Chain A
Amino acid sequence: MPNQDNALDRRDLIKKGLHGLALLVTGGVSGFLAERSQANSYHWQIDPSKCIACGNCATYCVLEESAVKCVNTYAMCGYCNLCTAFFEPAPKSLNTGAENQLCPTGAILRTFIEEPYYEYKIDESLCIACGKCVKGCKEFGNGSLYLQVRHDRCVNCNQCAIAVACPTQALTRVHRDQPYLLKGMDNKA
């Protein structure tokens, strides 16, 4: 019996030692992480220079209505009458009839400004991030239209599902201070 008690004591001691060790390790890891950590959170964003507007943003987002939307940097926009982002290739006529529009959801609003310029504005509630207009603008226009993660919609998953599906690794983690990668702008929100 005393043997057994000794054994019990020994086990207890080992357990206590290991408990202390685990505490130490946890403390060490927390110290290490504290050094590498920062209060500033990260958010996902699309680098427009890498984006090829493949359409994955529309389908792979964990939200049914993607957190990605199309954005127009007006300072780059040509305000073209024949906008290749707005119109189908070889449009029948340059008006807003459905037969001429490229956008499947009619999310681009075309407004006459002055001869011969038209403003193109994205209605975000309709935009599904399919990227059709982005392609049209990139290939034939100034490339002022591009896709961006909208942070009021994004749930900021630890691993963005679009980033996994993106063929060009265009989704990157950006700093909270600079949550958008806007073309032709100083990237501060």
Chain B
Amino acid sequence: MNQRAMKKTSSNEYWISLAQKASVVSGVFSLIVAGFLVFNYISAQTGLPEKELLYSQRMAEQKALLDQNPKDEAVIQEVRRLDLQLRQTYFYRLFFSERGKYLLLGGVLISLVSLQIASALRNPPRKPRHPIDPALETQMRKRSGAAVGAMGAILLGGLFVLASTSRNDLASQTLTPPESADNATASEPDYASWDEIRKNWPTFRGPGGLGVSAFTSVPDSWDEASGENVLWKTPIPLPGHNSPIVWGDRIFLTGGDDTEKVVYCFSLETGEILWQDRMDDPPSTGGEEIRVFEDNGWATSTMACDGHRVYAIFANGMAAGYDLTGKKLWSKNLGAPDSSYGYASSLTAYHDLMLIQYDQAQAEDQKSVLYALQGQTGEVAWQVPRPVANSWTSPIVVDTGEGEQLITVSEPWIIAYNPASGEELWKAKLMGTDLAPSPVYANGIAYVIQPNDSVFAIRTDGKGDVTRTHVAWTASGFIPDICSPLTNGELIFLLSTYGTMTCLDAKTGEFVWEEDIEDSFMTSPSLVGEWVYLFSETGKLYRVKASREFEVTNTGSLDDRFLASPAFLDGKIVVRGEFNLYCLGRKQ
């Protein structure tokens, strides 16, 4: 080895040690930066401002304090201070980690490059030579073959374990024939069957909205003074004109005033409130206040039940769905209703859809919509615009034998829809303004009232515009203004608020009788067996024979005003007074 080589070696040594030192320094630097970054990362993991552990507890405490005392200036200041601190911390962390990463990258790169330089300068690794031996090659090949085989076996084994242990619920679904799978889903739809509905009172005026009781076991007389047949009486915290609905052992109704709107569930057995839920206030209306007519109030729309859920809507446009135990499934704002007296149409349900006749303003404003909300979620299942003005009638769902129809009455159109899809089936342009009475249906005919003017009987087997083709008959006379009609299929009974009751032949519209009852009525008549039950505004019960001969008895009296229609159950009547909820029935 000569001088040059020696020199070279020493200069190499020098560079190698320099590179090594550089790599150590930058390596240590990188480690420190990495440590900071990891610390930053871990604390940032809990550190989206709202999640931040240290502060969020304090923030939550402060916010709870604020809820108790919304005007406490000190607490407000503290919340603002914390908020600022949280956000500063968060963005500082972002900034820190961004810069830190570049520092780390630089440090690691320098360290690696110097290490590479050092190792490149260093001499190659040397090992004693081994002889070239074909036996080694053979041995290598044998070992490699075995190793490849073993690896293949390991991989296949792993896959086999994966295949045999992983649960496959879809594959097992394939094993069951599709028909039985269909049956399984069809046998348990997420809504009640018609048979169940008939045993309950799930909507305004009961099953189908017809005001007909399925039971004749209900009492025919009562007296609050003596307590006769009054099972219980419970005060209702908030006013409302909506009628009680009943499913199973639960009664549902709503109450509301200017400041709060509440959904109530009462026990049918005891009358105690099982649950209640205060509806959220709607968001801003862009400055426009919703106004309601004082006689209408905020809680006029009757709730609806599909057997699995109940639905409510208030005159401020807030709707909600609950399960029967009071768990709020969803709530939704449909927008401030533009209704001259306040929104009043009752809800109805079809399968698991909540149907809302959301009529607003004038027809030319194009603001009226028929919504079908998915009961489970409140999402819009379908919606159709309606060429009508605001109205206060409630829609009914009836089975015509050739399919179900959702019949709506508004100005100027009466429109029937397919309740599953919202497809328009037929319509008739017959109506004027200020509509309150809801339609009824029997034997292929829908009966619709133009207040103080006429009653129309429209055959429901039409298609498209049936104004000129399917009106079976019209009649006029003492036509009611608010109360809805009632029919037993043979006769139709009309009741005006001032107590004039008219009976017409349902098939022909022929006049049968007309009598005055000296009382005033806001509730719609109901049919129990062969008796028409009338609940007067003064708290009295009148029973009128549903026959071609007029016959009336006054057999009930309660100390309340009745503005809402009663619900008829097996052996019980639930009726809402202005202040109290009554359950009438024979005591055991």
**Direct A/B contact, Cβ within 8 angstroms:** yes
B48 contacts A130, C-beta separation under 8 Å: yes
> Given A105-B90, A130-B48, A98 and B79 touching (CB < 8 A)?
yes
Nearest chain-B residue to A140 (Cβ)? B283
> Given A92-B66, A92-B70, A130-B48, A97 and B286 touching (CB < 8 A)?
no
Quick one: which of A58, A78, A90, A128 contacts B281, CB cutoff 8 A?
A90
Quick one: which of A79, A99, A101 contacts B66, CB cutoff 8 A?
A99
Show 19 residue pairs from A and B whose CB-CB distance is below 8 angstroms, ordered by the A residue: A64-B94, A64-B97, A79-B286, A80-B285, A81-B286, A81-B287, A82-B284, A90-B280, A93-B70, A97-B79, A98-B80, A104-B86, A105-B87, A105-B90, A106-B87, A116-B287, A126-B91, A130-B48, A141-B283
> A87-109 interface mask toward B, CB cutoff 8 Å, 1 = contact, 0 = none?
00110111001110100111000
Which B residues form the contact surface with A (CB < 8 A)? 48-50, 63, 66, 70, 76, 79-80, 82-84, 86-87, 90-91, 94, 97-98, 280-287, 332-333
B287 contacts A115, C-beta separation under 8 Å: yes
A58 contacts B70, C-beta separation under 8 Å: no
Q: Which residues of A contact B76 (CB under 8 A)?
A: 92, 97, 99
Q: Which residues of B contact A141 (CB under 8 A)?
A: 283
Q: Which residues of A contact B283 (CB under 8 A)?
A: 80, 82-84, 140-141
Most buried by B among A97, A116, A140: A140
Q: Which residues of B contact A81 (CB under 8 A)?
A: 284, 286-287
Q: Which residues of A contact B50 (CB under 8 A)?
A: 104
Which A residues form the contact surface with B (CB < 8 A)? 58, 64-65, 78-84, 89-90, 92-94, 97-99, 101, 104-106, 115-117, 126, 128, 130, 139-141
A65 contacts B94, C-beta separation under 8 Å: yes
Q: Which residues of B contact A126 (CB under 8 A)?
A: 91
Nearest chain-A residue to B51 (Cβ)? A104
Q: In terms of DSSP, what is the predominant structure of the interface of chain A?
A: loop
A58 contacts B83, C-beta separation under 8 Å: no
CA distance A81 to B285 in the complex (A): 8
> Given A99-B63, A99-B66, A128-B48, A89 and B280 touching (CB < 8 A)?
yes
> Given A80-B283, A139-B332, A141-B283, A99 and B48 touching (CB < 8 A)?
no
Quick one: which of A64, A89, A99, A117 contacts B80, CB cutoff 8 A?
A99
Q: Which residues of B contact A90 (CB under 8 A)?
A: 280-281
Q: Which residues of A contact B281 (CB under 8 A)?
A: 90
CA distance A134 to B312 in the complex (A): 26
CA distance A130 to B50 in the complex (A): 11
> Given A64-B94, A80-B284, A81-B287, A98 and B84 touching (CB < 8 A)?
yes
CB distance from A4 to the nearest CB of B (A): 15
Quick one: which of B49, B80, B90, B286 contacts A78, CB cutoff 8 A?
B286
Most buried by B among A83, A99, A104: A99
CA distance A93 to B80 in the complex (A): 14
CB distance from B44 to the nearest CB of A (A): 9
Q: Which residues of A contact B94 (CB under 8 A)?
A: 64-65
Q: Which residues of B contact A92 (CB under 8 A)?
A: 66, 70, 76
CA distance A101 to B333 in the complex (A): 21
Nearest chain-A residue to B69 (Cβ)? A92
CA distance A105 to B91 in the complex (A): 9
Q: Which residues of A contact B332 (CB under 8 A)?
A: 139
CA distance A83 to B287 in the complex (A): 12
B49 contacts A104, C-beta separation under 8 Å: yes
CB distance from B127 to the nearest CB of A (A): 32
Closest 5 CB pairs of A and B: A116-B287, A82-B284, A98-B83, A80-B284, A99-B79
Nearest chain-B residue to A78 (Cβ)? B286
